[in-house]
Chain A
Amino acid sequence: DQQVKQNSPSLSVQEGRISILNCDYTNSMFDYFLWYKKYPAEGPTFLISISSIKDKNEDGRFTVFLNKSAKHLSLHIVPSQPGDSAVYFCAATFSSNTGKLIFGQGTTLQVKP
Chain B
Amino acid sequence: DAGVIQSPRHEVTEMGQEVTLRCKPISGHNSLFWYRQTMMRGLELLIYFNNNVPIDDSGMPEDRFSAKMPNASFSTLKIQPSEPRDSAVYFCASSISGRAYEQYFGPGTRLTVT
* A residues with CB within 8 A of B: 32, 34, 41-46, 49, 89, 91, 93, 96-106
Give min CB distance, A3 to chain B, whole Å: 11
Residues of A within 8 A of B106 (CB): 43
Closest 10 CB pairs of A and B: A43-B105, A99-B100, A103-B43, A105-B42, A46-B102, A44-B105, A43-B91, A43-B106, A99-B31, A96-B101
Give min CB distance, B21 to chain A, whole Å: 13
B-side interface mostly: strand
Give min CB distance, B96 to chain A, whole Å: 10
Is B4 an interface residue when CB atoms closer than 8 A count as contact?
Answer: yes
Q: List 18 A-B contacts (CB under 8 A).
A: A34-B102, A41-B107, A42-B105, A43-B93, A43-B105, A43-B108, A44-B43, A44-B91, A46-B101, A46-B103, A49-B102, A97-B100, A99-B33, A100-B48, A101-B45, A101-B101, A103-B43, A104-B42
Give min CB distance, A99 to chain B, whole Å: 3
Residues of A within 8 A of B93 (CB): 43
Known: A99-B103, A100-B56; 16 extra A-B contacts, CB below 8 A, are A42-B105, A42-B107, A43-B105, A46-B101, A46-B102, A46-B103, A49-B101, A89-B43, A91-B101, A98-B56, A101-B45, A101-B103, A102-B45, A103-B43, A104-B42, A106-B43
Give min CB distance, B2 to chain A, whole Å: 14
Residues of A within 8 A of B43 (CB): 44, 89, 103, 106
Fill in one digit per residue for B70-114: 1 if any A CB lies within 8 Å of its CB, else 0. 000000000000000000000101010111111111111000000
Task: Say whether, besides A32-B101, A97-B100, A103 and B42 are in contact (CB < 8 Å).
Answer: yes
Give min CB distance, B104 to chain A, whole Å: 7
Residues of B within 8 A of A43 (CB): 4, 91, 93, 105-108
A96 to B102, CA, bound (A): 9
